[in-house]
Structure 1
Amino acid sequence: MQYALQNLYTENEIPRADDLVVLSHSPGGGVADVMDLLFSNGRPESRTLRPAGMRNAADSFEFQVMRKSTLQTVSIALDPALWPAGWFEIRDKRRAGTFTEADQAQLQSYQQQVTSTFPAKDLQTLFGSAEVRTVMGWGAIQSGELEAAVRAQR
């Protein structure tokens, strides 16, 4: 999010949640938790539901961020090659209930690798170059419309 905001706002501007729209391809809990914190003041009752059919994979960490006041957007995607080999497979095993003690040790090793290396990388290395583009739009998303669609899918 920081990288997107750096590209959409000048150094002297303060980003406002009501000036942003974020679209995510990632169903990951951490991503949703951060976005919920930013956009709903961290109220647990406002937790965003994940749509059915979203997959948690290396190439899912992609976001489109729009600054409504300028109609500018930026797309950012975490470089899939940065994830440890086997990261998503072992997490799938945990969700499927086929997780072993050896898998737990491996997952902890992966988590240590991610938490120690990702923050040390610059944003350009993590996300590549970001191109700010101006968009036109049609249609509207009404308050509660996305949540209703997600609930209908479940």
Structure 2
Amino acid sequence: MFDERSAYPHPDEFKVMRPEYSDQEQVDEEGNPIETDLPEAEGDEIVASITIAPFRVVGRSTTRPGARRAALYEAAKTYRNYHPSHRVRSPFPDEFTDEDGTLWKRVAESKRRKLGDYTFLLDGEDEEDSADIEQMLAWDVRPAPEFEDEDED
């Protein structure tokens, strides 16, 4: 039987670790990222790194939560390299509407190599576009929260 043990931590172990954040736009004179506690500025790329020595995963996005989610997705993909039977799950539902009202739909597995992981249609456009999960995480795409009606008791 195939033994799935390795030195590489399970992706769930990265979830409990606190990420270190850096703003990709701010670097010191040697080119090293400078950490900041300031909120993200529009268009800046935030980098989250999560370390379980000696392993480190990095994620990039427009926000800190998005960068953390991207790093966790990278941890799952790296774990799959060590354990080919591990299934990397999409961090998104198969179909959802994001906070901007854009409808996202998961592409059939047979078409993902050509189209990407999800398709979407922006307001005012006639043609569907597509994106892979890494792009969606970088853009910090999130499903809109669903609230139950308070009148239903």
Question: What interval of TM-score do these two structures reach, taking the shorter chain for normalisation?
Answer: under 0.3
Which of the pair is proportionally richer in helix? 1
Higher RCO, Cα 8 Å, sep 6+: 1
Which of the pair is proportionally richer in strand? 2
TM-score by length of 1: 0.24
